[in-house]
Homo-oligomer: A and B are copies of this chain.
Amino acid sequence: MSRWEPNARGRLEQAALELYRERGFDQTTVTEIAERAGLTERTFFRYFADKREVLFWGQERLRELYVRAIAAAPESTEPIDAVALALEAAVPVFHERRELARKRQAVVEANPGLQERELLKSAALAAAMAEALRNRGVPEPTASLAADVGAIAFKTAFARWVSDPDKHDLSRLIRESLDQLKSITAGA
């Protein structure tokens, strides 16, 4: 038997989500999270930069998917379509973890501090997509605007999907949101 239980990070993550759901983010101390995971507060901060980050560290995987999908799009693809391909490439990640996504989202929606962090992560993902577009030769401000529009479309689609993940198809919702954005900006 090894000295430590395996998967300390995962245990901390699960303990945190449980406690945030049971008593709320503000009413949960890091010490409590660590105790439930059988670790100490200090170890929590070795895995996560702060108390919020425990709910968001998965974003790194998304970033890679986005960047790869944009880089792999056919040469002639319009920027907004390359962004759409990236967003759809990440759909399976959410489908696989729909229950986790629901629980996580409910916690985030209950706390402004967590919403701040979510917005920062979303902005970071958009910035990564913009950079990937620039690497394809898309100039500014087109690259950033296309990436930001994509982020909005995803946010809108995700909000609807997460309310009932089995009823909706996330890919379809993303395409619908992009279509709606098109008709909105086309106005007048």
| Chain A contact residues, CB within 8 Å of chain B | 78-81, 112, 115-117, 119-120, 123, 141-142, 144-146, 148-149, 152, 155-156, 160, 177-178, 180-182, 184-188
20 more CB-based (< 8 A) A-B contacts, given A80-B184, A116-B116, A145-B152: A79-B187, A80-B187, A81-B187, A112-B120, A116-B119, A119-B119, A141-B177, A141-B180, A142-B184, A145-B177, A145-B180, A145-B181, A145-B184, A148-B156, A149-B152, A149-B184, A149-B185, A178-B185, A182-B186, A185-B185
Residues in B neighbouring A184, C-beta threshold 8 A = 79-80, 142, 145-146, 149
A81, A146, A156, A181: residue with the most chain B Cβ atoms closer than 10 Å: A181
Give, as a whole number of angstroms, the nearest-CB distance from A124 to chain B: 9
Q: Which of B79, B119, B141, B152 contacts A120 (CB 8 A)?
A: B119
Residues in B neighbouring A116, C-beta threshold 8 A = 116-117, 119-120
A145, A146, A156: residue with the most chain B Cβ atoms closer than 10 Å: A145
Q: Which of B78, B112, B156 contacts A145 (CB 8 A)?
A: B156
CA distance A142 to B112 in the complex (A): 24
CB-based nearest B residue for A152? B148
